[in-house]
Amino acid sequence: MTTATKLQHYPVMLYEVTQVLINNPAGTYLDCTFGGGGHSRHFLEEFPNIQLYAIDRDPDAWKRAEELKREFPRNFFFECMPFSTLDRLGVKVFSGVLFDFGISSIQLDDAERGFSFRYHMPLDMRMNPKQGMSAQEFLKTASREQLIEAICDFGEEAQGRRIVDLILKNRGSEVLEFADTFADLIAQHCPRSGKIHPATKTFQGIRIAVNHELEEIQQALPKAFERLQPGGRLVVLSFHSLEDRIVKQFWRKMETSSRAKSLTPKPILPPPEEVKMNLRSRSAKLRILEKFQ
């Protein structure tokens, strides 16, 4: 058993999301990012007559989904899969689909997953540790251009090129193998004033690269839209400007082709009380797209 089972994730904008997603108390819904199951659990408790399908690419999420399945055996279903493959689900039509991008606090705080620079653990950062390349492998093998894309573009790290040079200079050293030693290396060479750790953006960029997060979103949004019934809604929580850009572009494309309307000309932001209670919510943006009848 990993420590993940004891960790917790606070669902972001829980009431706002529930209110806009569930427009039919007997509808069929899809939660594409089950995570700790906070959103899913709330939907089922508030609307016991819905059918809820949930997916997550992280095999640890499956254990939490099993618990929910025991409580709601007739109307909760879970599949461990990346959301880019949601077209493989047997159910063809949903009243609403939710995406809550990124990783959960459970994944971040689980030392063994290698997402956090707080721990002396192998740098892994894969949402599914059985698939794809770990962050450690990525640092060992990526070309200069791939490192620049990850750290400068995905991480939006202003000192990205300096950090890429550091990585290339330290190739072969154990320093690049562990989360804390890699973060210390960055902190030594690129110190920064302010509250956030100097390695934060680099870690975020590498995480986005090894999990192909932006491609996943690009592929999943049109597939989710195709499975919406008329009047159904796509509800998305993004936490990063690159995620949000893909969402906005997709909304615009559907609006200009007269297939849907955006219900959020401006994104809905979390209330200040929530940000105070759950710092992770501070960068959240909620956008809603409704398919035409």
Ligand X SMILES: C[S@@+](CC[C@H](N)C(=O)[O-])C[C@H]1O[C@@H](n2cnc3c(N)ncnc32)[C@H](O)[C@@H]1O
- Determine the Cα–Cα distance for residues 60 and 179; give it in Å rounded to an integer: 21
Tell me if 232 sits within 8 A of 290, measured CB to CB: yes
Tell me if 100 sits within 8 A of 35, measured CB to CB: yes
Q: Give min distance, CB of 225 to ligand X, in A.
A: 16
First to last CA, the chain: 47
Q: Report the residue number whose CB is nearest to ligand X.
A: 35
Going from the C-alpha of 285 to that of each of 38, 192, 244, the distances in angstroms are 18, 27, 8
Q: Based on CB atoms, which residue is closest to ligand X, 39 or 227?
A: 39
Q: Give min distance, CB of 160 to ligand X, in A.
A: 23
Q: Give min distance, CB of 265 to ligand X, in A.
A: 24
Binding residues for ligand X (CB under 6 A) = 9, 11, 33, 35-39, 55-58, 61, 82-84, 100, 102-104, 127, 216
Q: Based on CB atoms, which residue is closest to ligand X, 57 or 291?
A: 57
Tell me if 51 sits within 8 A of 28, measured CB to CB: yes
Q: Give min distance, CB of 8 to ligand X, in A.
A: 9
Residue 201 structure tokens: 């953006």
Q: Based on CB atoms, which residue is closest to ligand X, 165 or 215?
A: 215
Pairing status of strand 94-100 against strand 228-238: parallel
- Determine the Cα–Cα distance for residues 236 and 219; give it in Å rounded to an integer: 14
Q: Based on CB atoms, which residue is closest to ligand X, 176 or 238?
A: 238
Q: Give min distance, CB of 293 to ligand X, in A.
A: 28
Q: Based on CB atoms, which residue is closest to ligand X, 121 or 176?
A: 121
Q: Give min distance, CB of 219 to ligand X, in A.
A: 9
Q: Based on CB atoms, which residue is closest to ligand X, 127 or 152?
A: 127
Contacts of 57 (CB under 8 A, 6+ apart): 80, 81, 82, 83, 127, 128, 131
Q: Based on CB atoms, which residue is closest to ligand X, 38 or 270?
A: 38
**Residues shown for the chain:** 293
- Determine the Cα–Cα distance for residues 100 and 267; give it in Å rounded to an integer: 14
Q: Give min distance, CB of 112 to ligand X, in A.
A: 15
Going from the C-alpha of 19 to that of each of 13, 128, 180, 197, 229, the distances in angstroms are 10, 31, 41, 36, 18
